Structure 1
Amino acid sequence: MFIFEKLEVYNKAKSFNLSLRKYSKRLSNDPFILDQLNRGSFSILLNISEGSGRITPRYQAHFYTIARGSTLECASILDYLKDADTIEDSFLNSRFKELDEISRMLFAMIRTNRIKHKDGSHKAEWG
């Protein structure tokens, strides 16, 4: 088992991505918007996993920051789809809750890694 598979935030992001991909197949919106949404949600997963493999807290925080940016990108696209009246409210509200939770978890991980980097109290973890 890889380190990232043990992270709750990774598993939440994976669940978000899978539910989004299934739902987006039913939408008939602009394919560019749906592609961007799918790529953004996949980017969350990829950056969490890449960050978990970095040795230093500084580089972990960098990838978690990118993942958080992708989280906000997905929220923005969903907000746009809401205004375009092309997404069901129940689905939208559930996804917003998931994104908010993922964003908060990533922010906590970023902050923790930055503190470790500043005070030098980190040790490389392999596991």
Structure 2
Amino acid sequence: MELFPNVTNEVADQSDWISLCSAKHKNSPTYLNSVFSKAAKEAKEAGLLSIAELYGLLSQVFSMYYKQNSPNDPFGPMMVMHDGRTAIVTDFTELNLGIFKPLAFGPDEYVKTSFKTKIAYKLAFSRSSEF
């Protein structure tokens, strides 16, 4: 089941997601999880459901944690509950990767590095040569 079926490049183009990523951030990419989680809630309350879904997707990307001792599966979910979990790398589609490309090559070195690290495994997994 695709977690983010309504997220397209057109939706991304209608949002300010890149500026949210470039906004003043704290010491961890996990902080961007909170930025996008809050933005998703605000977009949903404003009736911008597709944009809320985009921000939800980005919140999930930045929520993954790095498992240093697991080279074959380096990113895990931030939370696992009895009825589900937060996203893992294989939840993201090729369409999602196309949306992520501006971030991986964006001007903000901190965001670019953390984002590219998180997405690199998915790219290797899918054998894509986009990056």
Which category of TM-score, normalised to the shorter sequence, fits these structures? 0.3 to 0.5
Name the TM-score, length of structure 1 as normaliser: 0.35
**Greater RCO between the two (CA within 8 Å, min separation 6)?**
1
Name the structure where strand makes up a greater proportion of residues: 2
Name the structure where helix makes up a greater proportion of residues: 1
Structure with max Cα Rg: 1
Name the TM-score, length of structure 2 as normaliser: 0.35
